[in-house]
Structure 1
Amino acid sequence: MSEGRQIKMITRQHPLEKILENRIAIIDGAMGTTIRTYDMKEADIRGERFKDAKKDLLNNGDLFSLTQPVMIGDIHRRFLEAGADIIETNTFGATSIAQSEFFVDDPREHGGRKDPEFYQKIIDNRMLSDLAWEINEQSSRQCREWADRVANQTGRQRFVAGAIGPLTVSLSNSPDADDPGFRVVTFDQVKTAYAEQVRALIAGGSDLLLVETIFDSLNAKAALVAIREVFDEDGLTAQGRELPIMISAAVGRGGETMISAQTVEAFWNAVEHANPLSVGLNCSLGPDLMYPFLEELSGKSSAAISAYPNAGLPNPLSPTGFDFQPEDMARYLGDFARGSLINIAGGCCGNTPEHIAAIAKALEGQAPRSLRRHTEVAA
């Protein structure tokens, strides 16, 4: 370069990457499952702010970050005290697209349909945009506060993962059997919604970005493109402040992503370009069914491997709604560790702080999967 400073590529490890080389890190459990143990009612999620909402909101768990922040903070605290190194923001559905399900009339109820024209109005809706930003930023700040508080108490650094869910729409499939080429939403619309979420998660203090529970790889691709564009447009690349990316897919009994039907190897090939800190599997399957697919991914990927399965099969008679107890999850994830498959372990649906505590205890002292990845950043 004739003028200006030279840019030299150096190897700079993120603090979490150093941990992953030396031990198995623990990620938290299921926010939704744990919220249900607090016996919240419709009035609790509405509060004064949303008291006049026309639709039921109780299943919109992300709103609790705004209306019941003390409860959400208590959940974060419990997961951290159970041994979690990584806690997730309460933002699984915190995009304008997902929030529209609770605040906008469904045109199908009036003879219409959801299509790109409908979703463009959603993207342009200032109320939904502002709400999505607020949920993401506030949830990230709540996580940050508790992660730092427990880290200071214990002398062990904790990390905040900005949770980016799969959305309520698919880019890969048509909902119309008579029009297989039809899509309800466009790639650019999904990317715009994700970019808004990413910026708010960063503003709130997230350490990592977690694209999770991926059932449609094209949706995930839109999220990854959005992340890349936010990094570039906001000048994060030049400042060396890019957040590490974690990616986790949901697969069915055959080992394929639920809608795009990619095998775990094909899925890895589709996301490898993002240079993720970790890639893994979560949700959908219990740990008893996940092992062979996790083994395949571990053999193909150069990234760290994460696994946070459901607590077995759904069971409405169980207190958590799922079959496996803490000791069951501990035993199965211990098998993952003994098979040298994982660097990050935790639980998805059905996993409470008690499950995470049992998993953390079972994996203590277990060697992580060999990790040879290093991140290059501009110096």
Structure 2
Amino acid sequence: MKTVHKHPLQKIMESRIAIIDGAMGTTIRTYGMTESDIRGERFKDSTKDLKNNGDLFSLTQPAMICDIHRRFLEAGADIIETNTFGATSITQSEFFVDDPREHGGRKDPAFYQKIIEDRFLDDLAWEINEQSARQCREWADRVGSATGVQRFVAGAIGPMTVSLSNSPDAEDAGFRVVTFDQVKTAYAQQVRALIAGGVDLLLVETIFDSLNAKAALVAIREVFDEDGHAANGRDLPVMISAAVGRGGETLISAQTTEAFWNAVQHVKPLSVGLNCSLGPDLMYPFLEELSEKADVAISCYPNAGLPNPLSETGFDLGPKDMARYLGEFARGGLINIAGGCCGNTPEHIAAIARALEGQPPRQLSRNEVAA
């Protein structure tokens, strides 16, 4: 009879609600970084603005990024995410390659093939992913050793700045700026670099476009198959999290919550959930539906309400508000992993962790995930 091994995080989720960290971008803004700070000496001659390229801070301001990881861990996070939300060659090209549309051209598969083959972008994406994973690994292990509570590093894999589901050309519904294979290739390189940096998990998150997510999941499977098993003779666990609109559909591909789960359940993820896009009050019914349908752990890390430029964090809800809402999710028996997305600082995560302490997790199915 085959022995089934549970991942250590799954064991935690059977006894309590695990905590995932908050928003890297929101927290970076509290440090008052400038354009010159993100450029450093290395990128001082870049011709495009880089300040919104938060992933680049892992290379130019590693002390700040490590401090943010430390603060989230000390706030109670069991899982911290790598600073790699946009760390693919395709997304990085937005900051380093001239937009052909500014010169009468267009972005199309031929343009993105050059991006995929660009050595500078390829090397840059690898370095961001590997270094960010190493930074997370160092601090997860430090805090884990100091507290006696194991901490986990999730390799953050974002949705990209291109869509496989929609055409940007109103007169050509079949046109796509990029191909499935190009997106898959960029994701595969990101996955390999995250693994090289020492992540425990792979997190395909903030899914607006289900077909983009499918490319990421296919890339992960192919990397596992081609490179051998990634950890302790077994594949790394995969976490999946979608962003939904007010109707409960993924924002670009418009799949309902149930349809989205049906599309990804074959991956046998460690968890599936919702993040970003909506505040916790608006997310509740869709999380409830997902919790009823899915037979794996459920994660939830919503935005801190709706955007508000007059707020200190740029979002309406403070730590006490988020703690109250996530506490309601826990009392409803909906969640195994909880945290915050945009607008959530370490103070928000600390409040959420305190509110969920002692709250029972959603009951897991008998399915077990190999570590």
- TM-score, length-scaled by structure 2: 0.99
Report what 1:154 is aligned to.
Answer: 147
Q: Deviations over 1:259-280 (max 9, x none)?
A: 0000000000000011000000
Return the letter of the residue paired with 2:279: G
Report what 2:63 is aligned to.
Answer: 70
Contact 1:240 1:377 in 2 (8 A): no
Separation in structure 2 between the aligned mates of residue 59 and residue 237 of structure 1, nearest angstrom: 32
Return the letter of the residue paired with 2:11: K
Report what 1:205 is aligned to.
Answer: 198
Separation in structure 2 between the aligned mates of residue 158 and residue 142 of structure 1, nearest angstrom: 13
1:1-379 alignment runs, 5 A limit: 9-236=2-229, 240-375=233-368, 377=370
Say which is worse superposed, 368-377 or 212-221, in terms of deviation: 368-377
Secondary structure of 2:156's aligned partner: strand
Contact 2:6 2:370 in 1 (8 A): no
Runs of 4+ displaced beyond 2 Å = 237-241, 373-378
Separation in structure 2 between the aligned mates of residue 78 and residue 23 of structure 1, nearest angstrom: 21
Return the letter of the residue paired with 2:234: R
Flag the 1:41–1:184 CA change in 2: closer, same or farther, 3 A. same
Separation in structure 1 between the aligned mates of residue 22 and residue 230 of structure 2, nearest angstrom: 32
Separation in structure 2 between the aligned mates of residue 67 and residue 373 of structure 1, nearest angstrom: 45
Contact 2:308 2:316 in 1 (8 A): yes
Contact 2:301 2:341 in 1 (8 A): yes
Return the letter of the residue paired with 1:106: D
Separation in structure 1 between the aligned mates of residue 367 and residue 4 of structure 2, nearest angstrom: 7
Separation in structure 2 between the aligned mates of residue 327 and residue 238 of structure 1, nearest angstrom: 38
Secondary structure of 1:280's aligned partner: strand
Flag the 1:345–1:353 CA change in 2: closer, same or farther, 3 A. same
Contact 1:24 1:363 in 2 (8 A): yes
Return the letter of the residue paired with 2:56: L
Q: Deviations over 1:49-77 (max 9, x none)?
A: 00000000000000000000000000000
Secondary structure of 2:204's aligned partner: strand
Shift of 1:235: 1.2
Report what 1:3 is aligned to.
Answer: none
Secondary structure of 1:13's aligned partner: coil
Listed as ranges, the gaps of 5+ residues in structure 2 are none
Contact 1:9 1:376 in 2 (8 A): no
Separation in structure 1 between the aligned mates of residue 231 and residue 144 of structure 2, nearest angstrom: 29
Secondary structure of 1:11's aligned partner: coil
Shift of 1:372: 1.8
Contact 2:331 2:359 in 1 (8 A): yes
Separation in structure 1 between the aligned mates of residue 172 and residue 329 of structure 2, nearest angstrom: 43
Flag the 1:153–1:56 CA change in 2: closer, same or farther, 3 A. same
Secondary structure of 1:193's aligned partner: helix
Shift of 1:377: 4.7
Shift of 1:10: 2.3
- TM-score, length-scaled by structure 1: 0.96
Shift of 1:373: 4.4
Listed as ranges, the gaps of 5+ residues in structure 1 are 1-7
Return the letter of the residue paired with 2:159: P
Percent identity, please: 83
Q: Deviations over 1:88-117 (max 9, x none)?
A: 000000000000000001000000000000
Separation in structure 2 between the aligned mates of residue 131 and residue 30 of structure 1, nearest angstrom: 23
Contact 2:168 2:176 in 1 (8 A): yes
Separation in structure 1 between the aligned mates of residue 258 and residue 366 of structure 2, nearest angstrom: 18
Secondary structure of 2:3's aligned partner: strand
Report what 1:4 is aligned to.
Answer: none
Aligned length: 371
Shift of 1:240: 2.6
Shift of 1:241: 2.6
RMSD (Å), alpha carbons? 1.2
